[in-house]
Amino acid sequence: MNFAKSGMNLHLGLVGETYDVISCGTRAVGVAQVPLVATSMPCFQVLLQVGRDQQTNVFVGNAANGCFVELIPGQSITIPINDLNKVYVRAAAEGQTVNWLALR
């Protein structure tokens, strides 16, 4: 991958990159911060999506700094990261779900 910084935005340029595996799943989310997956799963990037039918917002972040990026139901975010279990999520209420797709 070709990474170029432009101000505060990180732009990803795909230059002949391909991925061997696409993994996907869902994660039950409550008010406690939890990793997206329980064990290490190396990857290049992850797409997170809060289902449209969810009742509250979901927050995304990491273990050290907390979850502060807020996603509303139906919204998604793509994160370039080398391991899926470094991504943490929590919700404003119990019983929510987040969908994920990882490029590996």
pLDDT tens-place string over residues 22-48: 999 999 999 999 999 999 999 999 999
Kindly indicate the confidence band of residue 16, based on its pLDDT and cuts at 50, 70 and 90. Answer: low
Residue 67 covered by a domain = yes
Q: For residues 2-26, give the mean pLDDT.
A: 62
Look up the domain containing 91 and give its range.
21-103
Tokens of 93: 């209420």
The separation between the first and the last C-alpha atoms of the chain, rounded to the nearest angstrom, is: 13
The count of C-alpha atoms lying within 13 angstroms of the C-alpha of 85, restricted to the half-sphere facing its C-beta, is 6
pTM: 0.81
CATH number (domain holding residue 79)? 2.60.120.10
Distance CA 2, CA 4 (A): 7
Distance CA 45, CA 3 (A): 13
Residue 3 covered by a domain = no
Residue 14 covered by a domain = no
Residue 82 covered by a domain = yes
Q: For residues 53-80, give the mean pLDDT.
A: 95
Residue 5 covered by a domain = no
Q: How many domains does the chain have?
A: 1
Distance CA 42, CA 16 (A): 20
What integer pLDDT is reported at residue 28 of this predicted model?
Answer: 96
Which string of DSSP letters, residue by residue, matches 7-61? Answer: TTEEEEE-SS---S-EEEEEEEE-SS-EESSSS--B-SEEEEEE-TT-SS-EEEE
Residue 43 covered by a domain = yes
